[in-house]
Structure 1
Amino acid sequence: MNVLQNANRYLVNVYKRFPLDVERGEGVYLVDKNGHKYLDFLAGIAVNALGYQHPRIQKAILAQLNRNLHLSNYFIQDVQVELARRLVELTGYRRVFFTNSGTEAIEGLLKAAKKWGTHHQKSEIIALQGCFHGRTLGALSITMQEKYQKSFRPLLPGCRMIPANDTAALKQAVNENTLAVFYEGIMGEGGVRPLDVGFLKELYQLRERFDFLVFADEIQTGVGRTGYFYYFQKDGFRPDGFATAKGLGGGLPLGAFVLDEKLAEIFAPGEHGTTYGGNPLACASGLATVNEVAQQSFLNHVAQVGRYFKEQLGVFAGKYPEHIVAVRGEGLMVGLEVKERARDLMDAAFENGLLFNIAGGNTLRFVPPLIIEKTHVDEAIEKLQLTFQKAFG
C-alpha cells in the first residue's frame, strides 16, 4: 500500500489531493520519488514565500534548533520579540500577537472587536460576499461563502454580508450599530478579485463618520505577495488591525494579528492566549523571511516578475478568447478565470508538470514562490499552452 492509499485510510478525508508522492522541494520545484520535477505555482497555498531550501531560512532554523524548539509564552523569547519589532517597524502599528495560523489571527481580531464593541455599544460585523477568513467557527461566521457555512449553522450572531465593491450596499449597511468591517484587499479564495479603490475609500470615510473598526485580512496578500509588504500599504489605507499568516513563517506554521493605537491595549492579561503561538522555531524562520522579503529590491522583483506574468497571461488569453474570461491580480497573486472545466485544466497541468489550484469556482490561481524569475514564468506559460491544446485543441 503506497503513501496515498495510506493517507486515504488513516487521515480525515477533507482534501482533494494531487496524486503526487513528494520527495523534496528544490527552489521553485517539487520533486517526486521517481525524480519527476513539478514547477510549483501553488507554493503551499502562498506559504513558501522563498521557495524550498532557501539558505537564509535553513541557517535560521538550524541555529534555533540548537537553542530550543518550544518555551511557551511564560518566557520572553528574543527571536519572537525581534520579529514583532520588525513587523512594527515595517507597518507603523503598535502591538503584535503571534498565532499558529491565519484563522487564529482572525479569531483574535474578532475578540478584540467584541471587547471594543462592548464598551462602545456596537454589535454588528460586516463582511464581504466571496471573502474567505478561515474555518474555525468565528472566522467561518465572516467567511461569506455558502459552501463553507451551510453545514455549520448557527454561527456567530450579528454578522451580515454585503456584495464586494458595491458602494451603495456598503452605505446602506453601515450605521451607528456597526462594530467592524472585515475585508480582503484581494479576495483569494473568491477568485483573485481585487477590491476597487473607490469602495475602500468609501469604507474608510464611513469609519470616520460612524466610528467603527476596519480590519484587513492580509493572510494571503501579505509578506510581499503583491509587491507591497502588506497590500493595504498600496493605497495608504490604514485599518485598525490586520491578520497575517501564510508567507509569514517562510514554510512553518505562523500567523499574527497586528493592532494599531486604538486597540493596542484592548486585552488585559489572561483575556487571550496560545500555547504554541510565537513558537521560536517558526519565529526564527519568520524573521529570516521578513528580513529577506522586506528589502525594497526584493519587493521590486516581485512587482516586476508579477507584471511580466500578467502580461504573458494576457497574451495567452488572447489565443483562447472563447475559453478565458479574465486575468486578475497583483504581484505574484494572479488568477486566470476560465469559462469552464477549471478542474480538468488543473489536473491536465499537473500531468504537464505545473502545479496551481482553483479558486472562486473557475479561476486558476497562481501563487508561486516570490523568488521565481521570468524564465519560470515562460516555463509556466509553455506548460499552460500544452494543457490548453490538449483540452481545447
Structure 2
Amino acid sequence: MSNKSEALSRRFEAAFMPNYGVPPVALARGEGSRVWDVDGAEYLDLIGGIAVSSLGHAHPALVEAVSRQVATLAHTSNLFLHEPEVLLAERLIGLLGAPARVFLTSSGTEANEAALKLAIKYGKANGRPYVVAAENGFHGRSLGALSLTGKASIRDQFGPFPADVRFVPYGDADALKNAVTAECAAVFLEPTQGEAGVVPPPDGYLRAVREICDTTGALLVTDEIQSAIGRTGHWFAHQHDGVLPDVLTLAKGLGGGLPIGACVGFGDAGTLFAKGDHGSTFGGNPVSAAAALAVLDTIESQGLLEHVKTVGTLLAEGIASVEHPLLKGVRGRGLWLAVVLTAERAARFQTAAQHAGFLVNAVQPDAVRLAPPLVITAEQVTSFVTALPALLDEASHD
C-alpha cells in the first residue's frame, strides 16, 4: 500500500466496527467497467459491487436521472406518494408479465424481511407454522433474513430466531418434497445460490419445486437479490426455467449503485399485507426509484440482455478453455460466474488478480465470483481470460 491507501485504511480501522476487517483496496472513482484507487492504480471491475453496478460506473443515463431527481424531490417517506415509485412498480410488473403488487425497500435484506412477514402472515392464517429453506443459502443478516440463511458460520451465534425454518440440501427435490407438507407456509430459494459460490440448480429443479408448492399450498419465494435485472441474460433468473414464484425479492442490480430493493407478490400473495402491516421510511425513495428506472430503460434500449448472453458465453468458454492444475472449471449463467478451483486458494487468487489489475471476489475457499457490470466489453473479458493462467500460477504458490 502507498501512503494514501495506508492512511485511509488506518482511518477506516479506527472509525468502523471490525465486522468487515479492512478492505484491501481504497477506491476513488470509476468509469464504465474500470475503477481507480486513491493512488491512481487502475483495475477492471469484475465484481461490480457484488452484482450491483449493472451499468458500470458513472454511466451518463444514471448520472442524469439521479441528478435530475435529487434536484427536484429527494425524499417523501411513505406518508406521500410520488410518480417515480409508481412508474417503477408498474415497470416491474410489466417485465414480470403477471398480475402482482410491489413493496419497495432500500436493500435486499429488507426485501426478504418483507417476504418472510408475508409468509408468516399466510402461515398463521392457514395453520402453517414453518418455512423451508436451503442449506448454504443466503438471504441476509438481519434476524429474520438470517433465520432463512442456511450457513452455520454466520447464523448460529445469533439464535434463537423468530421463525421456524427447516433446511434441506439445495437441488434435492426429494428432500424438499419430504420437508414440505400441508403445514409449510413457504419455501425460500435462490434460483442460483450466490454466496454459496454461484451454484446453479440441477435441470428441472425449480419446476419440481413449483409443483411441490402447488401440491401442498406452500408459497414459493424466490430470492433474486443477485440474479435478477439481466445478470443471467434474462430479466429474472426464474425465467430460465419457465417458473413463476408466488413472491419475488429483488435489490442489488436494480438500482445500479443506488440503494433499492423490492418484494413482489403475485396474485393473492400481493394482497396479504393490510394497511399498517409493514413499512419503510426510505423504501421507494424518489432518487433510488429514478435510478432503477434509468437502469431498466438502459438495459432495454442498449440490448444488454443479449449482450450479457454473448459476453457471458465468451467469458465462460474462455475460462473453460484454460488448462491448469488449479482450475476445476466454471459455473453460472450470463455475467454471474464462478471460477472453481481444485484447492482452497480463492483468497490467494483474489490477491493475485488485484495485483494484476482485476477485482474479483473469493466467495468460497475454492470459488472466485465474477459479476462484472453488464456493459463490460468483449475486449475487457478477453483481457481477464488471457491473464488467467498467470493468476492461477500465482495463486498456486505458497
Q: TM-score, normalised by structure 2?
A: 0.95
SS at match of 2:65: helix
Residues 263-297 of structure 1 show CA distances to partners (whole Å, capped at 9, x for unaligned) of 12111111110111111111111110011224582
Answering whether residue 309 of structure 2 is matched by residue 303 of structure 1, we say: yes
The residue aligned with 1:3 is: 8
On the 8 A contact 1:93/1:258 being kept in 2, the answer is no
SS at match of 1:150: helix
SS at match of 2:186: strand
1-side partners of 2:57 and 2:77: how far apart?
28
2-side partners of 1:290 and 1:375: how far apart?
24
The residue aligned with 2:3 is: none
Q: For 1:273, which of 260, 279, 288 is the aligned residue?
A: 279
1-side partners of 2:146 and 2:302: how far apart?
35
Matched AA of 1:233: Q
Instruction: After TM superposition, give the deviation of residue 207 of structure 1 in Å.
Output: 1.5
The residue aligned with 1:356 is: 360
Q: CA RMSD in A?
A: 1.4
Counterparts of residues 19-38 of structure 1 (less than 5 Å): 19-38=24-43
On the 8 A contact 2:249/2:261 being kept in 1, the answer is yes
Answering whether residue 65 of structure 2 is matched by residue 60 of structure 1, we say: yes
Answering whether residue 245 of structure 2 is matched by residue 242 of structure 1, we say: no
Q: Identify if the C-alpha distance between structure 1 residues 138 and 166 changes in structure 2 by more than 3 Å, giving closer, same or farther.
A: same
On the 8 A contact 1:352/1:386 being kept in 2, the answer is no
The residue aligned with 2:373 is: 369
- The unaligned stretches of length 5 or more in structure 2 are 1-5
The residue aligned with 1:326 is: 329
Answering whether residue 187 of structure 2 is matched by residue 181 of structure 1, we say: yes
The residue aligned with 1:51 is: 56
The residue aligned with 2:141 is: 135
SS at match of 2:24: coil
On the 8 A contact 2:346/2:364 being kept in 1, the answer is no
Instruction: After TM superposition, give the deviation of residue 171 of structure 1 in Å.
Output: 1.8
2-side partners of 1:305 and 1:151: how far apart?
41
Q: Identify if the C-alpha distance between structure 1 residues 149 and 201 changes in structure 2 by more than 3 Å, giving closer, same or farther.
A: same
1-side partners of 2:233 and 2:301: how far apart?
11
Answering whether residue 74 of structure 2 is matched by residue 69 of structure 1, we say: yes
Instruction: After TM superposition, give the deviation of residue 340 of structure 1 in Å.
Output: 2.2
Q: Identify if the C-alpha distance between structure 1 residues 107 and 283 changes in structure 2 by more than 3 Å, giving closer, same or farther.
A: same
Counterparts of residues 331-342 of structure 1 (less than 5 Å): 331-338=334-341, 339-342=343-346
Task: Say how many residue pairs are matched.
Answer: 390
Instruction: After TM superposition, give the deviation of residue 16 of structure 1 in Å.
Output: 4.2
SS at match of 1:193: coil
Q: Identify if the C-alpha distance between structure 1 residues 116 and 391 changes in structure 2 by more than 3 Å, giving closer, same or farther.
A: closer
On the 8 A contact 1:97/1:258 being kept in 2, the answer is yes
Counterparts of residues 275-294 of structure 1 (less than 5 Å): 275-294=281-300
Matched AA of 2:50: I
On the 8 A contact 1:213/1:240 being kept in 2, the answer is yes
On the 8 A contact 1:229/1:294 being kept in 2, the answer is no
2-side partners of 1:168 and 1:363: how far apart?
27
Instruction: After TM superposition, give the deviation of residue 164 of structure 1 in Å.
Output: 0.8
Instruction: After TM superposition, give the deviation of residue 174 of structure 1 in Å.
Output: 1.4
Matched AA of 1:384: L
SS at match of 1:126: strand
| Percent of residue pairs identical | 37
Counterparts of residues 149-160 of structure 1 (less than 5 Å): 149-160=155-166
The residue aligned with 1:161 is: 167
On the 8 A contact 1:310/1:327 being kept in 2, the answer is yes
Matched AA of 1:50: L
Instruction: After TM superposition, give the deviation of residue 196 of structure 1 in Å.
Output: 1.7
Q: Structure 1 stretches (4+) deviating beyond 4 angstroms?
A: none
1-side partners of 2:195 and 2:395: how far apart?
24
Instruction: After TM superposition, give the deviation of residue 57 of structure 1 in Å.
Output: 0.5
Q: TM-score, normalised by structure 1?
A: 0.96
2-side partners of 1:392 and 1:248: how far apart?
37
- The unaligned stretches of length 5 or more in structure 1 are none
On the 8 A contact 2:224/2:249 being kept in 1, the answer is yes
On the 8 A contact 1:131/1:143 being kept in 2, the answer is yes
Q: Name the stretch that deviates more: 212-221 or 163-172.
A: 163-172
Matched AA of 1:224: G
The residue aligned with 1:218 is: 224
